[in-house]
Structure 1
Amino acid sequence: MDKILIRKLQVDAIIGIHDYEKQQKQPVWLDMDLSFDCLPAAQSDDIRDALDYFKVCERVSHFVASTRYELIEALAEAVTEVVLNEFACEQIELTLYKPNAVANTETVGIQINRWKQ
Structure 2
Amino acid sequence: MDHVFIHRLETYCIVGVNPWEREVQQKVCLDIVMDCSTREAAADDDMAKAVDYRAVAKAVLDLVTNSRFYLVEALAEAVAKLILEVQPRVQAVTVTVSKPGAVRFAQEVGVRIRREREKPQ
Same fold per TM (> 0.5)? yes
TM-score range, shorter chain: over 0.9
> Cα offset for 1:100?
2.9
**SS at structure 1 position matched to 2:27:** strand
Residue type of the partner of 1:66?
A: N
The aligned counterpart of 1:110 is: 111
Residue type of the partner of 2:91?
A: E
Number of equivalences: 117
After the TM superposition, which residues 50-65 of structure 1 pair with which residues of structure 2 at under 5 Å, given as runs?
50-65=50-65
Q: Answer yes or no: is 1:34 the counterpart of 2:28.
A: no
Report sequence identity in percent: 34
**SS at structure 1 position matched to 2:40:** helix
Residues 26 and 100, structure 1, Cα contact 8 Å, conserved in 2: no
Normalising by structure 1, report the TM-score.
0.96
The aligned counterpart of 2:4 is: 4
Distance 1:2 1:28 in 2: 26
**SS at structure 1 position matched to 2:110:** strand
**SS at structure 2 position matched to 1:81:** helix
The aligned counterpart of 1:91 is: 92
Any idea what the Cα deviations from partners look like across 1:20-67, whole Å, max 9, x if unmatched? 111111111011110011011101111111001011001001100011
CA RMSD, aligned part only? 0.8
Q: Structure 2, unaligned stretches of length 5 or more?
A: none
The aligned counterpart of 1:22 is: 22
> Could you list the runs of 4 or more consecutive aligned residues of structure 1 that deviate by over 3 angstroms after TM superposition?
none
Distance 1:101 1:18 in 2: 11
